[in-house]
Structure 1
């Protein structure tokens, strides 16, 4: 019972340094997982990988940026947002290049028909 903390007693948390490279890897894995899910459910054809493969240097650029800028809180946030925007942009470009009627309807609705507020 020596190691048990009282419910109201503060617990020390091991705070890890924010690593921007971790965010880049995380967004990359989420991006690849979403594309695989869309492939296996038939929403997107497997040819989408030929379009995505054209952007492989982006991974090198994002990894290099995360190494150069360090691991500060603000820097990690900026690199994370940049990574997210980059992967979403590559995804939209790649999905738009594939001639899938479902993807075309989704992209057309979200980009063109979405009501302006």
Structure 2
């Protein structure tokens, strides 16, 4: 037996903030919102998933009360067109944080609307 992939990442969000999650993850990052299974829908939160490009991206946001964002632990999301995405995020008022260089990549950090840290990185050509 061995682990072969990460199926999804789950992050915390406050109750009732699904519209803010959708505006950020689908509207700005371009990961479509997908329906949750009916038996999980009653818990709140929302799922964002995409199968295009080099692999699947699955980010699930689950309601926690109280909600504590992941400020150090984070998913790293591989991006195509990082510079353009950074400009779109800045124009939308999202703070961009640079960090130490990582060999072979351009990268930045952003927070989602709930304070969860996300790393956005693009391999050098």
- TM above 0.5, one fold? no
Higher normalized contact order (CA 8 Å, seq sep 6+, divided by chain length): 1
Instruction: Give TM class, smaller chain.
Output: under 0.3
Question: More strand per residue: 1 or 2?
Answer: 2
TM-score by length of 2: 0.26
Question: More helix per residue: 1 or 2?
Answer: 1
Q: Which has the larger radius of gyration?
A: 1
TM-score by length of 1: 0.27
